[in-house]
Structure 1
């Protein structure tokens, strides 16, 4: 069996390039970090490098499921909210980076192959969403890019406070 490479151009290529850029900056912050360091809080925030990587992967996966299956696919229990933001016993930074890589591949494949970027789903009921609003697949992909870039900045601050390493500059 041979696989056919998908050629992506235009808007989709731009979105994929932006995702790759910000994911690269985000992953760069974890280079050379031990599991112990990945669990350390270096600011007054609860955020850690390992927790951020886990969170970004989880949120990206949730938004992809939203595109594919609608708002019910985004449901997660409040009881696991805190654990979505930290490495829990048995989890490693390497494992979370591998998980993130797999989720990124799935996202990229969907972005490259989805039939209609204008296809929309109603947002789930939540205080941070406008009641009755719908988001297109395009808007979700742009949101994933924005979330990744924002959290890459958070990760850069945490890493710099950890050992002086910076992503840029």
Structure 2
């Protein structure tokens, strides 16, 4: 990513900051805590990490215009649950790998204005066409949205929350 400049670098930098906030939020959490519901929502910390991994892979697949629907498209409720044999550590490792895949895909893009027809999904009677820029900003929005959820879940779990110091460094406080 360091060789990128301009808009692509800026989008990836902000996305990386959001990913870092998520990883800080799940730091120090065990597998049992990662699957615990702490609000009226069914969301859990593990489920958020797993879902955002699927998001990263889906959108990287779409922006590189690979043939066919992205694997697992359009997704299921299982993408929000830690499965048999999975651990929070394995989900975080997979999320980190998916983030690298997204960054590698974005590095190959030359035109963020290029419009891509999105695959069919139950929530779109007629799938829209989005620019690559819009897709990347959508991924950023999705990540930031779920970072907020994760912070609330973590605070309800053990009183810790993600804060950002005046230097811009994030940390967990209780």
Gap runs ≥5 in structure 1: none
1:102 corresponding residue in structure 2: 97
Matched, 1:167 2:162: yes
In the alignment, the residues of structure 2 paired with residue 148 and residue 73 of structure 1 have an alpha-carbon distance, to the nearest angstrom, of: 21
Equivalent in 100, 105, 113 of residue 108 of structure 2: 113
1:35 corresponding residue in structure 2: 31
**TM-score, normalised by the number of residues in structure 2:** 0.86
In the alignment, the residues of structure 2 paired with residue 165 and residue 6 of structure 1 have an alpha-carbon distance, to the nearest angstrom, of: 33
In the alignment, the residues of structure 2 paired with residue 108 and residue 152 of structure 1 have an alpha-carbon distance, to the nearest angstrom, of: 19
- Count of residues in correspondence between the two structures: 164
The answer (yes or no) to whether the contact 1:67–1:137 under 8 Å persists in 2 is: yes
In the alignment, the residues of structure 2 paired with residue 150 and residue 44 of structure 1 have an alpha-carbon distance, to the nearest angstrom, of: 17
CA RMSD of aligned residues (A): 2.1
Equivalent in 6, 10, 35 of residue 6 of structure 2: 10
Gap runs ≥5 in structure 2: 165-174
More strand by share: 2
* Residues 43 and 6 of structure 1, relative CA distance in 2, 3 Å threshold: closer
